[in-house]
Structure 1
Amino acid sequence: MKYVHSLLLPIAAVGVLMFPVMLNAASLEPIDSSGVQVQPQQQSGISYLSGGIGEDESKAIEQAKGYNLHMTFSIGPESKYVPDVDVVVQKTPGQTVLTLSQAGPLVYVQLPAGKYTVVATRNGVERRETTDVGSGTARNLVFHWNGDE
C-alpha cells in the first residue's frame, strides 16, 4: 500500500504542472470558422475588421495579421465587451480616414504610418485617444465606459 501512495504523488505533481500547459493549448485550438462572420472590409482604401461577438469570432479577429491598430470596447466593472460603439479615426489634424457605426467589441484597422486620433462614442459618451501608428508592433487602444453612462 505504501508503494501505491509513493507512486501517486509524482503522478499528481505532473498533472498539476501540466495544467497550465493544457490551458495554453486550449487557446490555440482551431477556430470553428463555420460560425464566424468576420470579413475584412474597406472604407476609403482603409482595411478593417469589426466584431468579436462570441469566442470563435473574437479569436478570429485576434489572430488576424496585418492590422496595426487594435481597439477594444468594454463596459462596467467586469469589462464586458460591447458591440455598439461609433468610431471615428482621424489623421491628425482632423482629417477623417474611417467612420464606423455600431462597431466592436473588437476593431482592427490597417492604417498608413502616422499620428491618429480615435474618437469612440457610446450612448453619447465620448472617449478619445491619440496614437502613433507605424509598420512595427500594433498599437492597442482600450476604450472603457463605466456602465452608468
Structure 2
Amino acid sequence: MKTTHSLMLSVTAVCLLMCPVMLQAASLEPIDSAGVQVQQQQQNGINYLSGGIGLDESKAIQQTTGYNLHMTFSVGTGNEYIPDVDVVISKAPGQTVFNLSQAGPLVYVQLPPGKYTVTATRDGVTRHDTADIGSGAARNLVFHWNDNS
C-alpha cells in the first residue's frame, strides 16, 4: 500500500510540475480552428487583420506574427473586447494611410517604419494615441471606453 501511495504522490507531483507547461501550450492553440474566420486583408498596400470575436478567433490573431502594430478595443470595468470601432491611422496631419470601419476587437497592422497617429472612434467617442513603428518589437495600443460611452 505504501508503494502505491508513494507512486501516486510521484505521479501527482509530476503532473503539478507539467500542468503549467501543458496549459501554456494549450493556450497557444485555437480551440476550434474551423470557427476562425480571420484572414489577412490589404488596404493601400498595408496588410492587416481585424476580428477577435470569441476565444478561438482572438487566440488565432494573437498568435500571428509579422504585424508591427497591435490594437485592442475594450469597454467597461471588465475590459470586455468590443467590435465596431472606426480606425484611422495617419502619418502626418491630413495624410491618412489606413482607414477601417467597424473593426475589432483586435486589429493587427503591418506598417512601414515611421511615426503614426491612431484615432479610434466608438459610438461617437474618439480616442487618440501615437505609434512609433521601427524594426523592433510590435507596438501595442489599447483603446478603452467606459460602459456609458
TM-score calculated relative to the size of structure 1: 0.90
Distance 1:30 1:79, change over 3 A: closer
Q: Deviations over 1:89-145 (max 9, x none)?
A: 111333111111110000011111100010111111111101101122111101111
Unaligned runs of 5+ in 2: none
Work out the percentage of aligned pairs sharing the same amino acid: 72
Give every structure 1 segment of 4 or more consecutive aligned residues whose post-TM-superposition deviation is greater than 4 Å.
Answer: none
Size of the aligned set, in residue pairs, is: 149
Q: For the Cα contact (< 8 Å) 2:28–2:59, is it kept in 1?
A: no
Per the alignment, residue 118 of structure 1 pairs with 118
Inter-partner Cα distance in structure 1 for 2:98 and 2:132: 16
Which one-letter code corresponds to 1:58 in the other structure?
S
Rounded Cα–Cα distance in structure 2 between residues aligned with 1:144 and 1:100: 18
CA distance in 1, matches of 2:68, 2:3: 58
Q: SS at the partner of 2:116?
A: strand
Distance in 2, matches of 1:79 and 1:91, equals 29
Distance (whole Å) between structure 1 residues aligned to residue 64 and residue 22 of structure 2: 23
* Alpha-carbon RMSD: 1.7
CA shift in 2, pair 1:45/1:32, >3 Å: same
Gaps of 5+ in 1: none
The CA distance in 2 between the partners of 1:46 and 1:3, in whole Å, is 63
Greater shift, 30-39 or 80-89, is seen at: 30-39
TM, length-normalised to structure 2:
0.90
Q: CA contact under 8 A between 1:74 and 1:144: conserved in structure 2?
A: yes
**Which stretch of structure 1 is more off in the superposition, 113-122 or 2-11?**
2-11
